[in-house]
Amino acid sequence: MINKKIGLILMMIGMAGTATTVCGQQLKYPTTSKGSVVDEFWGEKVADPYRWLEDDRSAETKSWVQAENKVTFDYLNTIPFRTKLKEQLTEIWNYEKIGTPFKEGAYTYFFKNNGLQQHSVLYRKQGENGTEEIFLDPNTFSKDGSTSLADVSFSKDGSLVAYSISEGGSDWRKVIVLNAKDKAPVGETLVDVKFSGIAWKGNDGFYYSSYDKPKGSELSEKTDQHKLYYHKLKKAQSTDQLIFGGSATPRRYVGASLTDDQRYLIISAANTTTGNELYYQDLSKPNSKIICLQDHFDANTGVVDNIGDTFLLETNYKAANNRLVKVDLKNPAKENWKDVIPETENVLSISTGGGYLFANYLKDAVSVVIQYDYTGKKIRQIELPGVGTASGFSGKKKEKEIYFGFSNYITPSSSYKFDVNSGQSALYIKPNVKFDSDQYESKQVFYTSKDGTKVPMIITYKKGIALNGKNPTIVYGYGGFNISLTPAFSTSVAVWLANGGVYAVPNLRGGGEYGQKWHDGGRQFNKLNVFNDFIAAAHYLQENGYTSPEYTALSGGSNGGLLVGATMTIDPKVAKVALPEVGVLDMLRYHTFTAGAGWSYDYGTVADSKEMFDYLKAYSPVHNVKSGVCYPATMVLTGDHDDRVVPAHSYKFASELQAKQACDNPVLIRIETKAGHGAGRSTEVLINSTVDKYAFALWNMGVKELK
């Protein structure tokens, strides 16, 4: 590494490194010094010249961030229609947004944003005709909007609430307890809580999870062993009881819940993001032992509900698309598990409400919902408002009316009240958005990937567009961790569509749209399938006249950022623009930061085998930027407080691209300060980020003015 003092001076003055000409202007990047760090994997030496950027606390890194942001925002400020784009997005964003209601105690709670508030406010009202009142207003948590409400959990009777806050977008949280009736604080604020829900035990206390606080950087230091604690109200956090985890049962992820009757504590323990052990403890018996119900990580299994000492479990054990089984705790061996709702060809997820089971199936990435009783008897298929994504269908057992939400790419999210006995639905809340759905079309197609696999994709655009290959198109993808991309309305996408853009979302392998088989088809040694699926999606759109490479932008965040980074280095000519956001981009070191080691089920690690090292290195975006290649116009996006996918991934990738770009396509990095992985970002931050992505994309596609 260069001398620290000299390096700091170079960064402070923004000394020019690589330069390129963009739209007639000379674009000069800051000098990014190269160190001499070399790692050895399986006998092969791999240079890591930008290792110094991993130190998020160093003055050099902070100065580099400032210098890069200056170049980026100087460039963005020259785009003539950027201000108009922000006006358009602000106008459509400015409508009252009300979330799907939920009932706690004597109150009905709901989130509402009056339009442009930085964060949505939690309101409540008593009964159907009660007066609305503010319960929690996250806009008062900090002056700059960087502190957000992360989670809210009520005790069973609704009299107590624990809510967690995130500061600067961090995954480290504080937990505050209130008396729900008068909002008076109860006990001390819990600190240093991470990756945790809140599981109330009556009104006495609750269970939560966390890691030991790192001795080094909170943002990047490895957090490896999760622990489950019990916090008794009005007692000091230092006296909280360790329930599970630690040296006795070391696990990377530990979570807890209680059954609805409060009899059983349920503990899920895992070392990766897929597969879990399952434990339970009978809280009705003093000093009862924690008993293992699933003793391996080969399946995802969770407790949906219980009927006495019989559990209802949702599981993919011997059911790749999931099933619901009942398990008698007196005879819990897996050979005795009985199907309540058997596996079908569509992926199943279960919710409960009003004393019924609701099976939400994914059929080609859209929702089909069927209501069952607790014996598995089908009551009815629920008529949804259209083809799209239905969510909710959950509530207390005693409720006769519950709520659900519905949305798709051209239908703003609305809430519906559902009568569990009659099956009748009624519109409850419909937003007043300045968007005419009738002017747009959203259709699903199936295209063929490189190996012959059929992949679904939903394409959305304004009716009547010319299929002349000149429509600005965003191809957005994820493709990992068993996560499904289902249709949902977005005001951001609406502005893209209104300006003549096409928005396409392929359901890539690695996701969960077709169950475990689809997930397995895109992980570890099958990861290249995901990138090939993404490339094939772009080719389909180009071959069918929606767009062409000069009008194509690739977009994705987190694992989707890896998707964009890998795709643009594998096939630099597939798109004109690349927008990798908060991406996992250094595949040789991702597992050494924060909780990254838990992603190994999807990725594998360099320590697994020589073959896995070779495979990861062959697509790792940071390690596959080559000199003499023209890469797409790229804007890398990250947050300087991202403690999930640390910003060093993005810093190193941008540095490689800036040093090696062989044409005039710009390479910028936009670093949001006091922001994390994405959750909890304020309205202002979201609007500005979206505007900059769209402005950058359209400008580099040759668009001179908006429609």
Give the residue numbers marked as catalytic: 558, 677
Looking up tokens 């194509």, which residue turns up?
A: 552
Compute the distance between CA of residue 568 and CA of residue 236 in angstroms, rounded to an integer. 52
Q: What DSSP string describes 105-161?
A: TTEEEEEEE-SS-SS-EEEEEESTTPPPEEEE-GGGS-TTS-EEEEEEEE-TTSSEE
The conformation of residue 288, written as its DSSP 8-state character, comes to: P
Query: How many angstroms separate the CA atoms of 183 and 186, rounded?
Result: 9
234: tokens are 């009005």
CA dist list (Å): 544 to 468, 531, 537:
9, 20, 11
Which of helix, strand or coil describes residue 529?
A: helix
Nearest 5°: CA angle at 456, between 699 and 615?
80
- The structure tokens 């006769």 sit at 400
Q: Give the relative orientation of helices 648-660 and 559-570 as an angle to the nearest 10 degrees.
A: 20
Name residues whose C-beta falls within 8 Å of residue 346's C-beta, 6 or more positions apart in sequence: 321, 361, 362, 363, 368
**Angle, nearest 10°, between helix axes 4-13 and 59-76?**
20
Give bridge partners of residue 418 from the DSSP assignment: 402, 425
Give the SS3 label for residue 534: helix
CA distance 498 to 510: 31
Task: Note whether 676 and 558 are within 8 A (CB).
Answer: no
Of 462, 491, 459, 489, nearest to 475 by C-alpha is 459
What is the distance between the alpha carbons of residues 16 and 486, in angstroms, rounded to a whole number?
44
The residues with which 670 forms a beta bridge, in sequence order, are 637
Please, are residues 66 and 11 in contact by the beta-carbon 8 Å criterion? Answer: yes
Rounded to a whole number of angstroms, the distance between the first and last alpha carbons of the chain is 49
- Distances from the Cα of 373 to the Cαs of 338, 376, 377, 380, 405, in angstroms? 15, 6, 5, 10, 21
Name residues whose C-beta falls within 8 Å of residue 345's C-beta, 6 or more positions apart in sequence. Answer: 321
What is the spatial distance between Cα 121 and Cα 266, in angstroms, rounded to a whole number?
A: 31
CA quadruple 681, 687, 692, 693: dihedral, nearest 10: 70
Q: Which residues of 357-394 are buried (b: 16+ CB within 10 A; e: fewer)?
A: bbbbbbeebbbbbbbbebebeeeeebebeebbbbbbbb
Radius of gyration (Cα) for the chain, nearest Å? 26
In whole angstroms, what is the distance from residue 512 CA to residue 548 CA? Answer: 29
CB 563 within 8 A of CB 701: no
Name 217's Cβ contacts closer than 8 Å, sequence gap at least 6.
Answer: 55, 56, 57
- What is the rounded CA–CA span in Å between residue 342 and residue 312? 13
C-alpha span between 327 and 339 (Å, rounded): 9
Q: Distance between CA 606 and CA 589 in Å, rounded? A: 8
The torsion defined by the Cα of 685, 687, 688 and 692, in degrees rounded to 10, comes to 140
Q: How far apart are CA 199 and CA 384, in angstroms?
A: 32
3-state secondary structure at position 405: strand
Q: Phi then psi for 697, rounded to 5 degrees?
A: -65, -50
Assigned token pair, 395: 């509530």
